[in-house]
Chain A
């Protein structure tokens, strides 16, 4: 079974540009979440999607957005890039069977390394 797949793995963008990152969850997983990892701030939750609906959002500016498609694949977009957006962006997925779902294991992809120059 394939794991969480993220593309692209590495990219370099210029300040002011925008970027779109893609995530394909594990087959059968309908819950997808995104995290940002930086040396200074550590791992921070961005947002979470389930059945094409955002059901949770972290404390990030509106420049950060995401969406989920009917096949559970997800994209996140960062507009008007700033130097501080340079980070590893991690996508994660889990099998959500309803209820609290607290027992679900959350699996992460290899991440997309974004460098803003």
Chain B
């Protein structure tokens, strides 16, 4: 079975500093990986996905993610954090058709 792990419950970063939200995966076959963001009392917003190709994936709102097959990781990054980036971030892997397996989520807090 496919799974993803988000080892950090919370990440704190100062505004303007780079941020990284970690995700590791366990899959059989090719991984299809996604990042979503959830703001308070809202649904999930798609940020980016890795299907195949370049290991650096660029997404919405200046976010990017680095796929590393040898380390089975798919970390979310942004060069310069904004206070408005504060939210809950979920990593997910597609297990079958449109079935996503989600990580437990990481709360990002960006301080001014």
CB of B55 to closest CB in A, whole Å: 16
**Residues of A contacting B96 in the complex (Cβ-Cβ under 8 angstroms):** 56
**Residues of A contacting B99 in the complex (Cβ-Cβ under 8 angstroms):** 33, 45, 48, 56, 58
- The verdict on A45 contacting B49 (CB below 8 Å), with A108-B36, A110-B42 known, is no
A96:B46 contact, CB within 8 angstroms: no
- In the complex the two chains form, what is the Cα distance from A36 to B37 in whole Å? 16
CB of A87 within 8 A of chain B? no
Name 16 interchain pairs, CB-CB below 8 A, sorted by A.
Answer: A42-B104, A42-B105, A43-B105, A48-B97, A48-B98, A50-B97, A50-B98, A56-B97, A58-B99, A90-B43, A92-B44, A96-B98, A101-B97, A103-B32, A108-B44, A111-B43
Number of interface residues of B (CB under 8 A): 25
Q: Which of B74-105 contact A (CB under 8 A)?
A: 90, 92, 94, 96-105
CB of A83 within 8 A of chain B? no
A55:B97 contact, CB within 8 angstroms: yes
CB of A105 within 8 A of chain B? yes
CB of A115 to closest CB in B, whole Å: 13
CB of A102 within 8 A of chain B? yes
Closest residue on chain B to residue A44 by CB atoms: B102
**Residues of A contacting B45 in the complex (Cβ-Cβ under 8 angstroms):** 108
Majority secondary structure, B binding face:
strand
- The verdict on A106 contacting B104 (CB below 8 Å), with A90-B44, A111-B43 known, is no
CB of A31 within 8 A of chain B? yes
Residues of B within 8 A of A (CB): 30, 32, 34, 36, 41-46, 49, 51, 90, 92, 94, 96-105
CB of A104 within 8 A of chain B? yes
| 6 tightest A-B CB contacts, nearest first | A43-B102, A108-B44, A110-B43, A108-B43, A103-B51, A102-B32
CB of A24 within 8 A of chain B? no
A94:B44 contact, CB within 8 angstroms: no
**Residues of A contacting B49 in the complex (Cβ-Cβ under 8 angstroms):** 103, 105
